[in-house]
Copies of this chain bind each other. A is one copy, B any other.
Amino acid sequence: MKPVFREAPGAILIEPRKVIHMATARQQLLQKLAVKTDSKIVLIVMDGVGGIHTMNSPKTALEIAKTPNLDALATRSALGRANPADVGITPGSGPGHLALFGYDPIVPAHEIGRGVLEACGINFRLNENMVATRGNFCTLGADKKITDRRAGRIPSEEGARICAKLQAAIKEIDGVKIHVLPVKEYRFCTIFEAPGLAPEVLDTDPQKVGLETLPAKAFTDSAAAKKTADIANKFIAKAFETIADEPKANGLVLRGFSVDPGLPSFQDLYKLNPCAIATYPLYRGVASLAGMKVLETGQTIAEEVETLKAVWNEYDFFFFHVKKTDSSGEDGNLDYKVHVIEEFDAALADILKLGPNVIAITGDHCTPYVMKGHSFHPVPLLVCGENCDVDDTKAFSESECLRGSIGTIYSEKLMGLLLANAGKLNKFGS
């Protein structure tokens, strides 16, 4: 009954399905050196903030935007660039944020599955006996083939109603507890809870209309994965019966079978008491897995700043996420990206008034508007603190960051740099 696990550097299996992280040598060193102090660190992640220069578009959004507050801050800061994952690697927001929080994003054991992210995004606390999946409702034709992969984008209330119906009908299968939790619109979570399950199970989503949903299937010989697949298939069969009469959401697929990666927390690693101010589930999810208190906040930057002000005395580390620099870049919308940067610049003045000991501004990756997507380029980085080593840069821009005194570092190293700037690291050796 022992499950087989892929060998993941940085992780060690100590009992069925429980992966215990060996902190990296760097994390162990930071853990040894970190001390608790009163100083406060604000890490602002402007998602996808960086851009690139081309012959036709020689200026980036950061270079076009009018940003008096960022410029003034840059003048008294150290600038540099952060390489999110590795040279040439274009990261998703998950690895991008893992790196910013100090976890090696390339270690397979640090991979955060879609199911886990979805569960964290709705503040559902996973335990070590749970395998989480992200569910999508879909519409099936009379021939059982998918006609709409998003069930006509049913409203969230509809999704919640159908999840409740499923939960009422299916509470347990062969001793495995079933959780069905609405997320948003056609999206939900199904969580399987019992000892001896494993996440090595393929998605049931064929990724195309005109095809039947796939059976859940273990992709290792692990008995635990096979059991999980079996339970998932029994759940799907019962669920199809239960929602057969629904006009739109009469089918479902399960994706991203995954378990809590068991990341060492900010408290354990850095002796920090951290909180997260972010609007989107993914960022809230990653922050939660890192041990941050994920705060309720509004949808605008100004509302996020209000949240920051309200909790200023309660924490010593603040992860502050700005989403729309990324989405505007993804849309190739230069004007809107410039607008979001200028909107943030106005809000920055209020953040600075709180008097953080260290403030850092960077991104989880670049999203150049000319590429309409994430890119592999180093991300602009600003660090301001008493001993940051002020350089002669005058603006927070890609070209100024290239000249900055921090140089180009890996994003994974940023947390150490912030702790050092905040006076939270003892000397290493004598």
Contact = CB atoms under 8 A, between A and B. Distances in A.
A429 B390 contact: no
Interface stretch (A25-33, A63-71, A119-127, A238-246): A25-33
A306 interface: no
| Copies per assembly | 2
Contacts of A425: 88-90, 376
Nearest to A98: B429
A377 B30 CA distance: 16
Interface residues of A, number: 71
Interface in A370-393: 370-371, 373-378, 386-392
A78 to B, nearest CB: 9
A363 interface: no
The A contact surface, by secondary structure, is: loop
Interface stretch (A175-183, A199-207, A342-350, A410-418): A410-418
23 contacts: A26-B86, A29-B86, A29-B89, A52-B388, A53-B390, A53-B405, A54-B386, A54-B390, A55-B76, A55-B390, A87-B413, A88-B416, A88-B421, A89-B420, A89-B425, A93-B429, A94-B430, A95-B429, A282-B430, A370-B387, A377-B405, A389-B398, A402-B403
Interface of A: 9, 25-26, 29-30, 33, 52-55, 58, 76, 81, 85-95, 105-107, 111-112, 114, 282, 368, 370-371, 373-378, 386-392, 398-399, 402-403, 405, 407-410, 413-421, 425-430
